[in-house]
Amino acid sequence: MPRKELIDKVKISDSMFLFQPCVGSSKYPGLITSAIDAFKHLDMDLITSDDQTCCGGFLTFTNVAQPTSTMPAVARNLAIIEDLDLDTLTLCNGCHTFLTEFSHFMKDRPPVQKVVNVILSMIGREYKGTHEVYHSLEIIYKLKEKIRERVVRQLKGIRFATHYGCHYLNGFKNTAIDDAHMPTILEEIIETCGGEIADYEENRTCCGTGLTQVILNKEQLSLPHTKMKLDSLNNTRADAVVVVCPYCLSHLDRMQHKLNRRSIGHYKTPVMHLVQFLGLALGIDVNRLGFDAHAITFTPFTKKLKERGILKETD
C-alpha cells in the first residue's frame, strides 16, 4: 500500500520543470502537450528549456560512455533547472533513475561533485544539489483528490490494464511512494477518474526492453518476453494499457505492430502514458493527446468512448 511518510514528503508547487524525455519527445510528442495541458488544469505550470539535453541514461546502459563521463551531462541539466529555482517533474522511469541516482551519488561524495563542477565551470555552470526530482506518477498521485474534483470525462465502463516498469519498481524500492512489489497507486488514479482495472498475470513484469535486451538479445530474450506479456494482456480484453514510462510505451506499442506483421500473434491493445490518460479524463482536446502517433490505433478505443457518451462525436 502507499507509504504515507514518503507521500507527505512530495512537494507540490505552482510551477515545476518538465524534463522532456528523448523517446517521449521524438516518438510521442503528445506526452509533452498532454502533460502541459493536464497540469495546467490542476493549477500547475510546467516550464521547459531548449537547453535541456538527454538524461544520459541510454549512453550508460549501452556502454557508449562510462557513468563518470555521463555525470557532467546530468549535472548540467540539473544546474539549468536549479538556475530556474524549480523542482523537476519527469515522465520517464529512465530519466527519473539517472537524475536522482547521479544527483545522490554526487551529493554524497563531495570530491566527485567538485570534479564535476570543475568541468561545468568551463561552460559557466555549477551543480549545487538544492532541488528535488519527482516522477510524474508521484505528483499525480499527490493531486488525486484535486483530480477527482476536476474530472470532465468520467471513464466509467472503460477497462485499463497497468504497467509500472522495472526502473520505477525495482530501482526505487526504498524511495518509491508505494510498495515496489505490489503497487496500487496507478490503479487508484485510474479508479479516481472512473476507469475500471483489467488485471492480468504479467502486469508487474518487464515490458521486454530490460537493460537494453531489445538491442542485445532481441530475438532470443526481448521479443519472447514481450509476447508473453502481450498474450497475458490479450486475455484481459483491456480497452487500453496505462504506463508511466515512454520507453515502455514505445516497446509495448511498437512490438505489437512488429509481432502482428510477423504473424506471430494478433495484438491490438492501445498503450498510453499516464499523462495522456490524465489529459483524457480532464477533458483535454483529444488531438492534443497525440494518439495518432501511436503504432496501435486508438480508433476502437475512442469509438467506445463515443458510444458511451464519454467523448462527443466532434472530439
Q: Is the pLDDT of residue 215 over 70?
A: no
pLDDT given for residue 288 in this prediction: 96
The stretch 281-295 carries a mean pLDDT of 96
Share of the chain above pLDDT 70, in %: 90
- Amino acid, res. 112: V
Instruction: Select the highest-mean-pLDDT range: 125-129, 174-178, 187-191, 200-204.
Output: 187-191
pLDDT given for residue 225 in this prediction: 80
Q: Among residues 93, 178, 248, which one has the least CA distance to residue 186?
A: 178
Lowest average pLDDT, out of 28-37, 51-60, 229-238, 270-279, goes to: 51-60
Q: Is the pLDDT of residue 259 over 80?
A: yes
pTM for the structure as a whole: 0.93
Q: How sure is the predictor about 114, in pLDDT bands with cuts at 50, 70 and 90? A: very high
Contact yes or no for 301/270 (Cβ under 8 A) = yes
Q: Among residues 75, 83, 196, 66, which one has the least CA distance to residue 127?
A: 75
Is CATH 3.40.50.11810 correct for 153-307? yes
- Please give the mean pLDDT across all residues of the chain: 89
pLDDT given for residue 71 in this prediction: 83
Contact yes or no for 185/191 (Cβ under 8 A) = no
Q: Show the DSSP H helices in the chain as ranges.
A: 4-7, 22-26, 30-41, 57-61, 67-83, 93-108, 110-121, 136-142, 144-150, 166-171, 185-192, 213-216, 223-236, 246-261, 274-281, 286-289, 299-307
CA–CA separation, 254 and 28 (whole Å): 12
| Higher-scoring residue by pLDDT: 210, 108 | 108
β-bridge partners, 243: 163, 273
> What's the sign of the alpha-carbon dihedral 252, 183, 29, 34?
positive
In angstroms, the first-to-last Cα distance of the chain is 37
Q: Among residues 91, 191, 184, 75, which one has the least CA distance to residue 134?
A: 91
Where does CATH 1.20.1050.140 sit in the chain?
Answer: 13-136
> What's the sign of the alpha-carbon dihedral 180, 186, 191, 195?
negative
pLDDT given for residue 161 in this prediction: 97
The CATH topology of domain 13-136 is: Glutathione S-transferase Yfyf (Class Pi); Chain A, domain 2 (1.20.1050)
Q: Is the pLDDT of residue 68 over 70?
A: no
Q: pLDDT for 6-59, tens place per residue?
A: 888 999 999 999 999 988 778 999 999 999 999 999 999 999 999 999 887 655
pLDDT given for residue 224 in this prediction: 82
pLDDT given for residue 61 in this prediction: 54
Q: Is the pLDDT of residue 211 over 80?
A: no
- 18: helix, strand or coil: strand
Share of the chain above pLDDT 90, in %: 62
DSSP output for 261-277: HTTS------EEEHHHH
pLDDT given for residue 174 in this prediction: 59
Where does CATH 3.40.50.11810 sit in the chain?
Answer: 153-307
Residue 239, CA distances (Å) to 160, 207, 226, 242, 309 in order: 6, 18, 18, 10, 16
pLDDT given for residue 286 in this prediction: 96
